[in-house]
A = this chain, B = another copy of it.
Amino acid sequence: MTFKPLTAAEMPRFSGISTFFRLPYVTEPAGLDIGVLGIPFDGGQYSLISGARFGPRAVRAASARVRAYNPSLKVNPYEKYTVADCGDVRINPLDLDAARMAITEGVKRLVDEGVIPMCVGGDHSISLPILRAIAGRYKPVGMVHFDAHSDTADEDLGVPYGHGTPFKRAVEEGLLDPTHTIQIGLRGSTEGPDEFDYALAQGIEIITLDEVMENGLKWVASRFERLRGNPIYVSLDMDVLDPAFAPATGPNPGGLAARELIYFVRKLAGQKVIGADVVEIDAPYDSPSGMTVVLAAQLIYEVMCVC
């Protein structure tokens, strides 16, 4: 069994019921290879922009643009895998603890059936409850993490769970293997050097934006080689991109171009990707043509193409 995305000839892209990539909406994950899952939680945001809860709805609408065949990779992922829209985790924004537990349970439903979860956030704090769900099957996992920040702060506003802390928690809880973790694109100003020091001390490899500029795209991609064979989680924070390419996220000037990030994702081909998230899509702040959510949809698709 495979599902084919609805084509424009069957129903033009501006019409019909909106699902991720125009795939069927499936409530029972058994039998799927990949499940695209919305996680509309933004209870970890505390900066100058919020609204990541609106990400999944916006990405569903925009994903109608992404067609089945990837001419760059010469792949149609829907011929290879059974992929479906698994709906949204029911998030209660009024009860942050319950919401985090619901995320773990929602992802676990997929992972327990052997389905690779492609999670559409939501803010970056969702990575922790996702990794807790994944840990039921793979533990610890390596990670390729694109971001302007390390997200290994000790706490956010005195709280252990915010969008700046997920990966410190994940290391502490034994979910994440720092020695098989690479963080790419870091550049944002911080309160001090602590986050970097912690990450480096744990054995995380950091490739700053400066190093991307200095050493070039191929060199960055070559760093993925040492991860081969390990289960790898892919986490994409939209703020790794320059705000020009992703206006609808907390803006961090001086980031990657869209095509650079797409290039990196494609170079994950051959890795054992066991899950992914795309986070920090603050949809209300997008350009009129929705460039951020279209790009987020494209990135999820590109990850599917390298699974």
Contacts and interface: CB of A to CB of B under 8 A. Distances in A.
Interface in A77-94: 85, 87-94
A68 B248 CA distance: 24
B46 A12 contact: yes
B289 A57 contact: no
Contacts of A76: 192
Contact of A253 (B217, B255, B262): B262
Interface stretch (A110-118, A157-165, A166-174, A222-230): A157-165
Interface stretch (A3-11, A128-136, A138-146, A269-277): A3-11
Interface residues of A, number: 105
Contacts of A196: 71
Interface in A47-97: 47-51, 53-54, 56-57, 60-62, 64-72, 74, 76, 85, 87-96
Contacts of A65: 47-48, 250-251
Interface of A: 7-19, 25, 38, 40, 42-51, 53-54, 56-57, 60-62, 64-72, 74, 76, 85, 87-96, 156-159, 161-162, 186-193, 196, 208-210, 213, 217, 242-245, 247-251, 253-255, 257-259, 262-263, 282, 284-291, 294-295, 298, 301
20 contacts: A7-B191, A11-B90, A13-B47, A14-B53, A17-B87, A46-B92, A47-B65, A49-B284, A65-B251, A68-B190, A69-B190, A72-B208, A94-B156, A95-B159, A213-B259, A243-B287, A244-B245, A248-B289, A253-B298, A254-B262
